[in-house]
């Protein structure tokens, strides 16, 4: 027996373990210090009332013989897939419930989807980005091409026709930068994918954070995208389902490669290798898409986005360059005085007792940025921001000035 050697090419959860290590180390030397974390990539507000009620009702149904349910449909109950299809209809995207696959989260679909493609596929990912794209490809031993982004292109890359590839991972709004692709840019990507005979894996985990009506929330708002793209969405950040778990993957009937419908391949793959999602959660997810549910999740999203405003305006007033996106729960800030992200992390940790996420953890192009999250409580966010504001940019950073 031989192990899959690709596992040893993965960076060992390096980012978050190094953050913990540095924080604990500082704590040991300075006992009694309280930290506030603006590094959270997880929701913190409770599930909304409509969702809770729907789930409680589903639990009750499970307690009675007459309404009890055993194994459910593998790809999700029809009521949920229909609710999702109706959600898309509001954006003028017409989908059949059979083009929607419910899962227990986007994270696994992002990694599992590569199973449909040849092991020698060339994968294009954006740098910086969510590390799961890269890690899934490392395990599969795919060739990875990193397309760099920076403040010069507002962290939105345009396709380069000189680069050939088979699989393209795009995420909008992007984690960590918060950059959102506009229609024109997405049209370019669709055109590029069709010309290269490549497939786009579109991660729309943060689509609900887009408030600008002109910006696309689904790649299927772009003409011909159904012929080249798969969309992977999640209720994690949208509705606080990070612990409850629910995501969905959309594959149109029109997505065909080498005379095979990708929809059918995924159906087969999921029937064999996934367990589906429990009834109770699916009733909760259905409630997210109801009118009342949509109203209630928006109020949580607004809460997180208010935190973002507070963070970005105070960094800005300090003279720190921030990539301000009003469509994301994250602030992407440039480290002052040409510091790298770990140096800036150290100073904020040691002088302000605030934890941020070094951009380097999301790729090489993130090395002079940090990510600050709006998922922390309002009170803690204000406190953290005040501590950061008290930093004297020239004195505390004198080593770098
Ligand atoms: C949080 C997040 C997800 C969601 O993953 P789940 O498995 O559904 O919780 C997907 N993509 C990105 C970029 C994320 O930040």
Instruction: Evaluate: CB of 174 within 6 angstroms of ligand 1.
Output: no
Dist. CA 357–CA 41, nearest whole Å: 9
Count of domains in the chain? Answer: 2
Model confidence at 398: pLDDT above 80: no
> 139: burial class by Cβ within 10 Å (0-12, 13-18, 19+)?
middle
Query: Please, which pLDDT band fits residue 283 given cuts at 50, 70 and 90?
Result: very high
42 and 54 share one domain? no
233 and 339 share one domain? no
Task: Compute the average pLDDT of residues 72-80.
Answer: 97
What's the mean per-residue pLDDT of the chain?
95
Angstrom distances, CA of residue 393 to CA of 125, 141, 344, 348, 362: 35, 44, 11, 11, 25
Residues constituting the chain:
401
Instruction: Evaluate: CB of 208 within 6 angstroms of ligand 1.
Output: no
Q: What is the CATH number of the domain that holds 384?
A: 3.90.1150.10
Tokens matching residue 246: 């629910």
Looking at residue 395, its pLDDT comes to 65
257 and 330 share one domain? no
Query: Would you state the torsion angle of the CA atoms of residues 93, 94, 96, 102, taken in this order, to the nearest 10 degrees?
Result: 10
Instruction: Evaluate: CB of 391 within 6 angstroms of ligand 1.
Output: no
Instruction: Evaluate: CB of 242 within 6 angstroms of ligand 1.
Output: yes
79 and 183 share one domain? yes
Instruction: Evaluate: CB of 237 within 6 angstroms of ligand 1.
Output: yes
31 and 56 share one domain? no
Which residue has its alpha carbon closest to ligand 1 atom 7? 107
User: The domain containing residue 15 runs over which residues?
Assistant: 5-47+292-397
Model confidence at 393: pLDDT above 70: no
Residue 51: which of 238, 275, 303, 328 has the closest Cα? 238
Please give the helix or strand (H or E) that residue 29 lies within, else none.
helix 14-29
Distance of CA 11 to the CA centre of its chain: 20
Ligand 1 centroid vs 204 CA: distance in angstroms? 9
Domain stop point among 228, 258, 290: 290
> 62: burial class by Cβ within 10 Å (0-12, 13-18, 19+)?
middle
Dist. CA 128–CA 291, nearest whole Å: 35
Q: What is the CATH number of the domain that holds 83?
A: 3.40.640.10
Dist. CA 107–CA 208, nearest whole Å: 17
Dist. CA 255–CA 360, nearest whole Å: 35
Query: Please, which pLDDT band fits residue 28 given cuts at 50, 70 and 90?
Result: very high
Ligand 1 centroid vs 330 CA: distance in angstroms? 14
285 and 308 share one domain? no
315 and 375 share one domain? yes
Domain stop point among 290, 315, 342: 290
Phi, psi of 36 (to 5 degrees): -115, 130
Phi, psi of 377 (to 5 degrees): -60, 155
Please give the helix or strand (H or E) that residue 283 lies within, else none.
helix 279-288
58 and 121 share one domain? yes
Domain stop point among 290, 324, 353: 290
Ligand 1 centroid vs 135 CA: distance in angstroms? 14
Tokens matching residue 349: 């940790």
**3-class DSSP assignment, residue 319:** coil
Tokens matching residue 190: 């669709």
Model confidence at 399: pLDDT above 90: no
Looking at residue 256, its pLDDT comes to 98
Question: pLDDT tens for residues 191-221?
Answer: 999 999 999 999 999 999 999 999 999 999 9
318 and 253 share one domain? no
Ligand 1 centroid vs 109 CA: distance in angstroms? 10
Dist. CA 17–CA 23, nearest whole Å: 10
Please give the helix or strand (H or E) that residue 50 lies within, else none.
helix 49-62
Instruction: Evaluate: CB of 107 within 6 angstroms of ligand 1.
Output: yes
Model confidence at 401: pLDDT above 60: no
Query: Please, which pLDDT band fits residue 66 given cuts at 50, 70 and 90?
Result: very high
Across the beta sheet with 229-234, the strand order is 100-103, 247-251, 229-234, 199-203, 167-171, 122-127, 143-148
Which residue has its alpha carbon closest to ligand 1 atom 15? 175
pTM of this prediction? 0.96
54 and 152 share one domain? yes
Looking at residue 396, its pLDDT comes to 65
Ligand 1 centroid vs 206 CA: distance in angstroms? 8
278 and 301 share one domain? no
Dist. CA 342–CA 352, nearest whole Å: 15
Query: Please, which pLDDT band fits residue 14 given cuts at 50, 70 and 90?
Result: confident
93 and 194 share one domain? yes
**Is there a contact between 144 and 125 (Cβ–Cβ < 8 Å)?**
yes
User: For a substitution probing ligand 1, which of 109, 155, 175, 288 has the most ligand atoms within 8 Å of its CB?
Assistant: 175
């Amino acid at each position: 027996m031989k192990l899959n050697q690709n596992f040893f090419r993965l960076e060992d959860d390096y980012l978050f373990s190094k953050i913990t290590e540095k924080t604990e180390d500082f704590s040991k030397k300075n006992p009694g210090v309280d930290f506030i974390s603006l590094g959270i990539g997880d929701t913190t507000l409770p599930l909304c009332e409509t969702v809770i009620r729907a789930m409680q009702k589903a639990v009750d149904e499970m307690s009675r013989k007459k309404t009890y349910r055993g194994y459910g449909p593998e790809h999700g109950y029809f009521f949920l897939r229909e609710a999702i299809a109706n959600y898309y209809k509001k954006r003028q995207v017409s989908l059949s419930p059979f083009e929607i696959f419910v899962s227990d989260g986007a994270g696994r679909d992002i990694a599992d989807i590569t199973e449909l493609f040849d092991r020698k596929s060339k994968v294009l990912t954006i740098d910086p980005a969510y590390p799961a794209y890269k890690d899934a490809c490392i395990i599969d031993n795919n060739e990875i091409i990193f397309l760099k982004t920076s403040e010069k292109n507002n962290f939105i890359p345009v396709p380069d026709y000189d680069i050939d590839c088979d699989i393209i991972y795009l995420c909008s709004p992007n984690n960590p930068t918060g950059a959102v692709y506009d229609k024109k840019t997405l049209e370019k990507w669709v055109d590029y994918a069709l010309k290269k005979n490549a497939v786009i894996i579109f991660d729309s985990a943060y689509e609900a954070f887009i408030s600008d009506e002109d910006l696309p929330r689904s790649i299927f708002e772009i003409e011909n995208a159904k012929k080249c793209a798969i969309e992977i969405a999640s209720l994690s950040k949208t509705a606080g389902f990070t612990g409850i778990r629910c995501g969905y993957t959309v594959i149109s009937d029109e997505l065909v490669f080498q005379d095979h419908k990708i929809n059918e391949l995924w159906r087969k793959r999921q029937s064999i290798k996934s367990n589906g999602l429990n009834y109770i959660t699916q009733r909760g997810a259905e409630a997210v898409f109801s009118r009342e549910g949509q109203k209630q999740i928006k109020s949580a999203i607004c809460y997180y986005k208010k935190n973002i405003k507070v963070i970005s305006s105070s960094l800005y007033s300090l003279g720190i360059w921030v990539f301000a996106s009003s469509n994301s729960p994250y602030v992407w800030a440039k480290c002052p005085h040409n510091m790298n992200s770990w140096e800036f992390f150290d100073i904020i940790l040691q002088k302000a007792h605030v934890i941020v996420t070094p951009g380097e953890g999301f790729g090489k192009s993130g090395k002079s940025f940090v990510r600050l999250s709006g998922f922390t409580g309002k009170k803690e966010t204000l406190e953290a921001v005040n501590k950061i504001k008290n930093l004297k940019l020239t004195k505390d950073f004198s080593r770098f000035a």
